Amino acid sequence: MTKREITDYFPSRKKAKSLSSETTPNSTPPSTSTTPNSIPSTSTTPNSIPSTSTTPNSIPSTSTTPNSIPSTSTTPNSIPSTSTKPNNKQPQPQPATPPPALELPHLSSPFKEEFVKTLTEHQKRLLQLEIDTIEPEWFKVLAERGLFTSESFLSLKEFLLGEIQRGKEIYPSSNDVYAWSRATPLKMVRVVIIGQDPYHNKGQAHGLAFSVKDVNAKKPPSLANIFRGIHTDFPQLAKKGLPKHCDLSAWTHRGVLLLNSVLTVEAHRANSHAKRGWEEFTSGVLEALLEFGPAHIVVMAWGKSAERTVRAVVARGRHLLLYGVHPSPLSAHRGFFSQGHFSKCVEWLRVHGYEDIDESFWEI
């Protein structure tokens, strides 16, 4: 999981050559990082002190006040001074705007470009994160359903921006909110696992339900119970022991969409962003998937929240719907380990054209 402070969810559009602002564990964060939920300003007002921040590997320039001349006079054997006379005028307050965000270059598309032309300036500002970070095929089907411009979704984005401006810490990081769309393309989906909301402790959530990317992070109890459920269904996997890490990305590469009903959460406050509009959005994601995705999909809905999300849009028919107990320690003892969802999933997929699938499907 990315160990970095959370920036913002509503970035203004900014081109980036690479994912240089993301860090892997033990790496040195880029020098342009901001404090959590701060709104960096790169512009200066008249008589303000220009910024001396630099891009990685660049040589920082010596800041000067407008029209001032740095002093280079020295006394014998002294070190030349490059300091300037301080400017006593305070910078004028800047309007509250989202900070620049990292744009993923490969996620641009002609459809996105045309879609942006239909938006008002206010809508562009609110939807910049979606435009920049959602995989193009997913973006197209969701935009065509009107999800991004719906009243409930725009209201949700206003709420999130307000929370950030009030200094609230939100997980996952802005670039990971829609990581599920990039990890599992629409046409690849075989299985959907619906979670509740992201992990609310630092260093855990990274946009994939139940998954933790940081290899050094403590295993969340819900995920430990998921592994135990898999071993109950497939004793031969139990012989290999529990996985050494908690990153479920390997599942997404095999077509497992790990989607929470609610995609953001305030730090240390579970369900804090429930009933703010995310549920309507993720229901729309499921509708789009079942309309444009593969013909046969397994949907696992654990817990009442996930069940409501699924029942709102899915009718039993060509898809396999598996409702059951949530793997949380508070409820798992009520039947999660005996409901057999993982083995039922493998059996059903094999019958419906995926003969190559076996218990190794659930290895990470």
CA dist 201 and 178 (Å) reads 19
Rg of the chain (C-alpha set): 24
Other Cβ atoms closer than 10 A to 160: 25
- Longest CA span, the chain: 89
Q: Residue 196: inside a domain, yes or no?
A: yes
Predicted pLDDT of residue 84: 46
Residue 29 lies in a domain: no
Which residues lie below 8 Å from residue 187, measured CB to CB, with a gap of 6+?
137, 293, 294
Q: How does DSSP classify residue 362? A: G
Give the angle subtended at the CA of 318 by the CAs of 312 and 324, to the nearest 5°.
55
What's the CA gap between 254 and 260, in Å, rounded?
A: 18
Helix axes 221-233, 341-351, angle to 10 degrees: 60
Q: How confident is the model at residue 340 (pLDDT cuts 50, 70, 90)?
A: very high
Q: What would the DSSP string read from start to end of 188-209?
A: G--EEEEESS---STTT--SST
Instruction: Identify the helix (H) or strand (E) that includes residue 259.
Output: strand 256-260
Q: What is the mean pLDDT of the chain?
A: 79
Q: What is the pLDDT of residue 47?
A: 44
Coil/strand/helix, residue 310: helix
Tokens 């500002």 sit on residue: 125
- Residue appearing with tokens 């953001």: 264
> Is 351 within a domain?
yes
| CA contacts within 13 A on the Cβ side of 286 | 32
Mean pLDDT of 295-309: 91
Closest by CA to 284, choosing from 247, 314, 242, 304, is 314
Looking at residue 100, the DSSP 8-state letter turns out to be B
Q: Tell me the residue range of the domain where 332 lies.
A: 173-362
Q: Cα separation of 204 and 212, whole Å?
A: 5
Tokens of 241: 């022991």
For residue 329, tell me if it sits in a domain. yes
Using alpha carbons, select from 178, 363, 357 the residue that is nearest to residue 264: 178
Q: Which two tokens stand for residue 317?
A: 């028919």
Catalytic positions are 197
Average pLDDT over residues 252-279: 96
Section 270-295 average pLDDT: 94
Does residue 269 sit in helix, strand or coil? Answer: strand
- Residue 163 pLDDT greater than 60, yes or no: yes
Number of domains in the chain: 1
Q: Helices H, strands E: what count in the chain?
A: 11, 6
What are the pLDDT digits (tens) for 183-228?
Answer: 999 999 999 999 999 999 998 999 999 999 988 888 999 999 999 9
In a domain, 148, yes or no: no
Specify the pLDDT at position 24.
Answer: 38
DSSP annotation string for 238-274 = HTT-S-S----HHHHHTTEEEEESS--EETTBTTTTT
Whether 230 is covered by a domain: the verdict is yes
Query: Which tokens belong to 228?
Result: 């135990």
Q: How far apart are CA 152 and CA 274, in angstroms?
A: 13
Residue 97 belongs to some domain of the structure? no
**Residue 356's domain is classified under what CATH number?**
3.40.470.10
For residue 342, give the 3-state DSSP assignment: helix
Phi, psi of 19 (to 5 degrees): -85, 45
What is the per-residue pLDDT across 37-88, written as a single tens digit (0 to 9) for each? 443 444 444 444 444 444 444 444 444 444 444 444 444 444 444 444 444 4
**Highest mean pLDDT pick, 8-22, 47-61, 168-182, 303-317:** 168-182
Residue 352 within any structural domain of the chain = yes
Distance CA 144, CA 166 (A): 33
